[in-house]
Structure 1
C-alpha cells in the first residue's frame, strides 16, 4: 500500500465517521494530534480505559470537547471528565508524570456537576510553571470504554484549534443508542 492510499483510506474512515457519529468531539486544546499509542504512559497508550486522541499542546487553556455535565475533576486540576446526554464519558488529561504533581500552575473554571457547553473553558495552564514539573505536557482525550455501548472511536490527524476543530467521532452500537 502506497503512502497516498493510506491517507485516502484514513480520509474515507473520517468521512464515514462524520456521517455515522453519535458524538463529535472538538479539540480540547490547540496543537498537533498524535495517536494514543505515542503517549508515554502505558494506561493511555495501550488504551486500557478507552480510545481517543492525544494532542501536543501549543495553547494554555483546555476547553470542553463536548456538551454535558462535569462528572470528574481531579484535585490537581490536570484532568476532568464530561458525561454527555447519551451517557458517553470523555476524559481529558493534561500532562504525563502527574502522580506527584500538586497542580501548581493549573486552575479550573468549573466544578463537579456543572453543565458545560462545547468550547467552555475548563482548565487554565501556566505553562512556564507546570512544564518543569511534568514528564510531558501532552494532553489526552479518551472516550471511556465503560461509559456507553461504544462500537468505534475514530480520530483525525494534523493540527487542531481548540473548540473549533472536530478531531474524534464516537459511534455507538446500533441497538444500544438511547
Structure 2
C-alpha cells in the first residue's frame, strides 16, 4: 500500500460536472430560419413564452436540439417540451394553430419521460396535410425559462440543417 492510497479511499465520488455555458441549442428541423418577430403567431412573435425563433421546414422531421428529457408530449403531436441536461426548458411547437388538427399529420417518436440525445428524431409531420389545413408549418423553438439566463440569442439565419447551431444561451 502506497503512502497516499488512504487519500483515494476517503475521497468523495465526484459530482457530475455542471454544464459549461454558453450552451447552444441545435436546429431541430431542415429549412429557413424565421426571426422571432416574424413568426406568424403573436404569442411567439412577442416572446411571451420566452425568446424563440422559427424554422420554415423543407422536410417533415423534427430532431432533438439538445440532450435531455421529454417533459411534455401532448396527444395532438404538434408540440414537445424538453428539459435539457443543462437546465434549459425548450418548447418545440410545430406550426401555428396546428392543435386544431388533433394529431392528424403528426407522428411523435417519443413520449413524456423519454431521455433523448441531440439529433434524435422526435417527430414526423406531414407538411402537405398542414398546408391543406391552411396552417403555417413553421417549427418554433422557445426557451421557456429565458429569464433564468443572462442572454438567449438566435445565432442562425438563412437555410439551416438539423444539428446546426441555432440558439446560444449564456448564464
Would you say the 8 A contact 1:30–1:57 is kept in 2? yes
State the Cα RMSD in Å. Answer: 1.6
Shift of 1:99: 4.1
- Runs of 4+ with >4 A deviation: none
For residues 1-178 of structure 1, the aligned pairs below 5 Å read 21-145=21-145, 149-155=148-154, 156-163=156-163, 165-172=164-171
Structure 2 Cα separation of the partners of residues 33 and 107 of structure 1: 23
Higher strand share: 1
TM norm structure 2: 0.83
Aligned length: 151
Q: Deviations over 1:21-72 (max 9, x none)?
A: 4311111000011111101111100000100211111011000011100011
Structure 1 residue ranges without an equivalent (≥5): 1-19, 173-178
Would you say the 8 A contact 2:76–2:99 is kept in 1? no
Report what 2:12 is aligned to: none
For the residue of structure 1 that corresponds to 2:138, the secondary structure is: strand
Greater C-alpha radius of gyration = 2
Would you say the 8 A contact 1:31–1:55 is kept in 2? yes
Higher helix share: 1
Structure 2 residue ranges without an equivalent (≥5): 1-19
